[in-house]
Amino acid sequence: MTAPEPPPILSARKPTQPGSLMSDQRLVLASASPRRHDLLDQIALAPDSVDPAHLDETPLARELPARHALRLAEAKARLVGARHPGAFVLGADTVVACGRRILPKPTDADSARQCLLLLSGRRHRVHGGVALVLPDGRMVSRRTETAVIFKRLDEREIADYLASGEWQGKAGGYAIQGLAARFIRQVIGSYSNVVGLPLFETVNLLAGHGFDRARRIAPPAR
């Protein structure tokens, strides 16, 4: 009589498969924005890699600001997600709007000046879109809205801000975390959304869909 064969040795951990929820917990940021990277780093969620989407951000005909922000965030996450199977891929977009008007990211001082004149003495809204491609290929997204009230700007303040160059490439022609902070009377809603990424919504999106690091608070660096 032959002795029975010993049972096979089973691994306690299933192998990771692309598109499976048993992922390696990589976080890829689909944005070249240093502000978004810094915000994630601030809450101990620094991405493992950065892979900008580089897509056309021109608004569609009659596209409202909130929809524009969400559409671009989803498009970025989808495009970059295809290049990183098995990872969590985070896309985001920020839109500054006066009413239904989407303000540009100025490339010249004249455009930036027009943005500041529109914002001067007024309440405007900052729409943030956040999209996450999951390791199994599904996508989830959220939208955030923040109201920002500017003081009335005089010509000297506008000229000085334009001379600083800080407006370059910034949605609406200003950076709330920089010199433009002196112009802000009130922020109603998420401050980090105005900087470039709504952190509360981002953390909850990640934690709610299995990203382990979003559930923990890392000790501060020494």
Residue 79: count other Cβ atoms within 10 Å of its Cβ: 18
CA 148 to each of CA 36, 56, 69, 83, 181: distance values in angstroms, whole numbers, following the listed order: 19, 27, 17, 36, 11
**Catalytic residue, candidates 93, 110, 136, 154:** 93
Q: CB of 16 within 8 A of CB of 86?
A: yes
**HSE-CB for 195 with a 13 A CA cutoff:** 17
Write the CA distances from 35 to 55, 114, 155, 202, 209, integer angstroms. 19, 24, 28, 14, 24
Write down the residue that tokens 């008007």 correspond to: 101
Among the listed residues 136, 99, 122, 125, the one whose alpha carbon sits nearest the alpha carbon of residue 23: 136
Q: How far is CA 202 from CA 18, 109, 192, 193, in A?
A: 23, 33, 11, 10
DSSP letters along 162-183, please?
HHHTTTTT-GGG--TTTGGGGG
Is 93 in the active site?
yes
Task: State the catalytic residues.
Answer: 93
